Amino acid sequence: MASSEADQGWPNVPVLGTPDDLPLRPDRPYRASGSQKRGRLAVHIVIAVLAAVAAGGWGYVMWAAKGETEVIREVVSFDVARPDSVRITYEIHKPDDQAALCRLRATDTDHVEVGTKEVTIPAGEANVRRTDWLDTSAQATSVHVQYCYLV
């Protein structure tokens, strides 16, 4: 039993219409009026200001998260031969009129912290080389100066 489209209630014309059904299009593109242009400009200015504030805020957060950059620290050598302590030799470069607080950190093969020590570097010298012993709870494989900041 075949039935035609007209029997099922389907129209016998194109669904979207024909070109004759559409109104004539203008030859030139749509141009916004003066007040519409000013409104669009205001929206663009507001978006630009918000983007600048967001970028500036993000830049400040990233700068603040980095911490104090006036103290440069570097490990010269370390000895992890003993199972209960390590020896670290390190250099601190800072302004000579300020003290610094540094944290030494020892880790094992899994990078688990096995010992820490906070050391105060007194004011008076700009470049300081120190050797410190650090007690550990297990065999350490690495030692580093975790942070230093001016106090």
Q: What is the pLDDT of residues 18-72, one digit of tens each?
A: 767 666 665 666 666 666 677 788 889 999 999 999 999 998 888 777 655 578 8
Q: Which residues have CB under 8 Å from 87's CB, separation 6+?
A: 78, 79, 131, 132, 133, 134
- What SS3 class is residue 69? coil
CA dist 86 and 77 (Å) reads 11
Q: What is the pLDDT of residues 63-120, one digit of tens each?
A: 777 655 578 888 899 998 898 999 999 999 988 888 999 999 999 999 999 999 999 9
DSSP run (H or E) holding 35: helix 34-66
